[in-house]
Amino acid sequence: MNDAINLVDLIKEFGDDEACRRYIEALRWRKGVTCPRCEKPATPVANRSTYDCDACHYQFSATSGTIFHDTHLPLWKWFLATYLLCESRKGMSANQMKRQLGVSYKTAWYLCHRIRAAMLDVAPEPIGGTVEIDETYVSTENLAVNQCCGAC
């Protein structure tokens, strides 16, 4: 996948669950499918989108242990929701997500929270240095943090 993708390209590339699942598998297992429990090779189960570990016989799927685990919502809707959250300039409410995806408010709220939590896991460190915020540049070097004004 390209670094920059627009909505049309997203729908072309990830318009069905099978394409989304293949992409998750490619990201997760670059050197072949391995068991999440024992790290040994695994074999696909016939006619299902699951794998069986050759060593411990644990059955798992590409979505096991991810934000997509145990969801009844199609993966393409998850991908679309992630795109919408990342591309919306000022964030997106659960109500807006509900309208965009045609899901219930509860589902939209759950989607937004899980995606945001996953984004925190990726970049837990606060940003620093020169930061661009809505066409404004603020340098943390010029900010006086915890400096006494001399009046205390």
Q: pLDDT tens string for the chain (152 positions)? A: 446 788 888 888 898 999 999 999 999 999 889 998 899 999 999 888 899 999 999 999 989 888 998 889 999 999 999 999 988 888 889 999 999 999 999 999 999 999 988 887 666 677 778 877 676 565 666 555 544 554 54
Q: What would the 3-class secondary structure string for the chain be? A: CCCCCCHHHHHHHCCCHHHHHHHHHHHHCCCCCECCCCCCEEEECCCCCCEEECCCCCEECCCCCCCCCCCCCCHHHHHHHHHHHHHCCCCCCHHHHHHHHCCCHHHHHHHHHHHHHHHHHHCCCCCCCEEEECCEEEEHHHCCCCCCCCCC
Report the pLDDT value the prediction gives residue 136, as an integer from 0 to 100.
Answer: 59
> Model pTM greater than 0.75?
no
